Amino acid sequence: MADEGDNDGKPDQTVALDLERLILDAPRKYTPYQAARAAGVPMELATRFWRAMGFPDIGQSRALTDGDVIALRRLAGLVESGLLSESMAIQVARSTGQTTARLAGWQMDTFLDNLTQSVEPGLTRAEVAYPLVELLLPELEQFLVYVWRRQLAAVTGRVVQAAEDTEITSGRLAVGFADLVGFTRLSRRLEEEELGELVESFENTCSDLIAGFGGRVVKTLGDEILFVSEDPATAAEIALSLVERLAKEDTIPALRVGMAFGTVTSRMGDVFGTTVNLASRLTSIAPKDAVLLDGEFAQALEQNGAAAPGPETPVGPEHRFHLQPMWRRPVRGLGLVEPWLLSRAGQLG
């Protein structure tokens, strides 16, 4: 990031600085050292906060604003008040930075690409961007705050309601991976725009369905989506519905899903641990248009009455799912695993 005056008279750099001033609502004013001193934060801690938020080192360029000083002061204030430890404040900065960087990148790619395709004669894309950002900025800002509050309320509500639920307080979750079969081969044949449309359609369809059933999308990885649910039966319904829904989409390859139930470590919105690894491995060996579960998941469905207890027990009208044991097989890094094929009650496994 250069000083505000270092634009060498280049029109594009001037427009970029104008856009920055519009978005930040403040001119460049401080070097990093001056900003840290104005915020009353040690330079070392200020640097850690900035790097955690994903911003590069800028040397002693005068590129920071009053808003940057206020942000540093607020983070340091949370630590000084005892509300957060220093390490927790760093995590807050890092998780917020990573999430908003992805969001901002997607928004600008989408809006500017779509809205500046027909550039008016005599104007560059950069010049057209300014009035668009000026119009969009207040609306996007308010919408972001609204969605964040809604998400925060939903998460807080789940935590409070689950306070006495040992399955949830112990960190046990149903984890699922949904993976497009043959995506790598298909991607070699598609044009870039077609591939982007396929991935977007896949992510949108899966995300809407998972949210509709009360699950949570953890992350998307192009041809794969990772989701979780506190309730195994809900996760099973999501998995089968995903397979059924995407089977109707002619433009999307077949889907396979692997799921496991057990203890999960959650950090910065992501999930880790053996349960997550097992779900991923089961996905890699699942047949197309099929859902594989681990033994813990199958047992949880049997215990809550969603599936018949044991493969020899007839499936009754009260059961939602049918479980079929598969051959035990070695799974890399996890030893021998006995997968279970999940289907709806009344359907052949």
Q: What is the pLDDT of residue 117?
A: 60
Classify 252 as helix, strand or coil: coil
Alpha-carbon dihedral sign for residues 103, 109, 115, 116: positive
Q: What is the pLDDT of residue 315?
A: 62
Q: What are residue 255's DSSP bridge partners?
A: 180
Q: What is the pLDDT of residue 101?
A: 86
Query: Is-contact 62 30, C-beta < 8 A?
Result: yes
Give the closest residue to 272 by CA, choosing from 339, 233, 224, 218. Answer: 218
Evaluate if pTM is beyond 0.75: no
First-to-last CA distance in the chain? 59
10 Å CB burial of residue 185 (0-12, 13-18, 19+) is: exposed
Q: What residues of the chain score a pLDDT lower than 50?
A: 1-2, 5, 8-9, 166-170, 348-349
Q: How far apart are CA 176 and CA 260, in angstroms?
A: 7
Q: What is the pLDDT of residue 131?
A: 83
Which pLDDT tens digit goes with each residue over 94-152? Answer: 888 888 888 888 787 777 666 556 556 666 766 777 888 888 889 999 999 999 899 88
Query: Is-contact 87 57, C-beta < 8 A?
Result: no
Q: What is the pLDDT of residue 168?
A: 44
Classify 303 as helix, strand or coil: helix
Helix (H) or strand (E) holding 259, with range, is: strand 255-263
